[in-house]
A and B are shown apart, each in its own frame.
Chain A
Amino acid sequence: MSEFLQQLVNGVTWGSVYALIALGYTMVYGILRLINFAHGDIYMLGAFFGFYAPGLIVVAGARAGEWLEGVHRALHGVPVLGPGVGRLAAALSAAGSMPNALEAVLVLVIAMVGCGLVGIIIERGAYKPVRGSSRLAALITAIGVSLLLENGGVLVFGPDPKFFPQIIPSSNIALGGGVTISNQQVIILVVSVLLMFALRFIVTRTRVGKAMQAVSHSHMAASLMGISVDRIITFTFVLGSMLAAAAGVLVALQNPKIEPYMGVMPGLKAFVAAVLGGIGNIPGAVLGGLVMGVAEVLVVGYVSPTYRDAIAFVLLIVILLVRPAGILGKAQAEKV
């Protein structure tokens, strides 16, 4: 029994990662009816941006520190401001040795911002031009972008796997009954939940979020209401990419091995999770992600590890045959 609970804990943790990625798929599909094949590769980029982030922090900190030190010297003798700038300069120069928690947060933010930018580039560069074309054309463009990111990654990062720095050293916390959870898993869960709540807040309580909902119902009607459909679409991509990036960093904190093709399988599985929950439906993506995570862990634990990847497709086939709209989805009828 305790093993089962342990599996559940692992499953829910993995599930929240899938949920984060699935949210991006579902939002983009809801707004564009496009399956963004490249989304899994954004997850990969998040991990890589996170990988290079600490180095970036050190270098940036050193440069900023130097420059500010110059300012400090110029302000010599000025009360309050002078010493203040001096302390800031010193702190920046020593950026490499900041406390772990702070560095982790910074790494996460950098990865998220980086991938947000990538999301904008992809959307504006590749998807916007084909928005008027057929669905197959858009699908192929998405596949092309995915391949570009993967192979571009091999070219830029090199094909050998890299190892994500252990910013947060691992330690286990006993939950009782023989079940343990690692601090990394806790972080994954906490950060995921926070991000999901943040997303929910944005979508339901802010003007931008309501505009997103409007656009997902009808581009035409939304634009007639004065909503800039283009901007909202870009914003949706940015949000989705940021969530995928976060997932990448969180996973890398726990499983440090990263390589350019690491996004393929998680991306595919997260997509299945989105379909499972009802594609276009945000709570559905979360539900689907959890179901996927738990199912996968249980299959690996109780059936066989070799069928780990296959379970995703089995779930996919089942849901599409039984209830294509997904668990929380509503079937859309075509007006004749």
Chain B
Amino acid sequence: MTGDVLLELDHVTIQFGGLKAVADLTLQIGRGELVGLIGPNGAGKTTVFNLVTGVYAPTVGRILFEGRPIQGMKPHAIARRGITRTFQNIRLFASRCCRDNVCIAAHQHARAGLADAVLRTRRFEDDERDIQRRAGELLEILGLSAWADTPAAELPYGQQRRLEIARALAGRPRLLLLDEPAAGLNPQESDQLMHLIEDIRQRFHLTILLIEHDMRVVMGICRRIAVLDYGVRIAEGTPGQIRTDPRVIEAYLGEEVHADLGAGG
């Protein structure tokens, strides 16, 4: 674990009634890392994302981003601090075209106020031009330029997943949370996704936290993996270490993934 810690979860617990969805979780993500978060269904992975992005406030514990506490802050404020995400169940703005979807995410960096927009001042025109340009660039990088004016609801599934990523990037985050980006993709598409994630990480100097069930993707691109089970961190280490960790294998016992873990190259 190198020096510069970007995100830190410090003994975070969240309790819903009698259920501890996440229990006493301590985790550190260093700047520039690509960390995987895996675990059986219901382990609390998306809950961790929701905690970090402010959808939930932890019952106990602190969450620090770049050294400053963010627990309890509202999601839009946390997005402005530099953390954005994609969603497990795609949450695109269905009626808007792809370009607009990405433009909306750039909203937080807009300089023009309401009056500027209504009166169409110079500042607004400049701002709008910047936003549109950046949106175009992102769509290009994600291979979505052809669909720029298509309503998001009409996109093929694979492109919808990419659009979610393009949107998350538009906010110029320093930390990107990807929630099962490979869900529903075939092996070729997963391969492309792996290259894409590595590409954007380098290009935009991102730190990435990735939830994924597809072990090929996780083992392929993550340098470090944390494993959750029933809200508790049961293991952490390199892909090699995780693959052979008996606690991890036991947690996945009975799931098809077990075979991938044991075999894996």
Contact = CB atoms under 8 A, between A and B. Distances in A.
Interface of A: 336
B78 interface: no
4 contacts: A336-B46, A336-B50, A336-B55, A336-B87
Contacts of B46: 336
Contacts of B50: 336
Report, nearest first, the 4 A-B pairs whose CB atoms are least far apart: A336-B55, A336-B50, A336-B87, A336-B46
A259 B246 CA distance: 77
A92 to B, nearest CB: 61
A336 B46 CA distance: 9
A336 B87 CA distance: 8
A220 to B, nearest CB: 15
A150 to B, nearest CB: 35
A336 B52 CA distance: 13
Contacts of A336: 46, 50, 55, 87
Nearest to B88: A336
Nearest to B85: A336
A333 B50 CA distance: 13
A336 B50 CA distance: 8
A336 B55 CA distance: 8
Nearest to B16: A333
Interface string B43-56: 00010001000010
Contacts of B87: 336
A336 B21 CA distance: 14
B99 to A, nearest CB: 25
A336 B14 CA distance: 15
A336 B177 CA distance: 14
Nearest to B56: A336
B131 to A, nearest CB: 26
A336 B85 CA distance: 12
B3 to A, nearest CB: 33
Interface in B42-70: 46, 50, 55
A136 B55 CA distance: 26
Interface string B23-51: 00000000000000000000000100010
Nearest to B55: A336
Nearest to B49: A336
A69 B33 CA distance: 95
Nearest to A334: B55
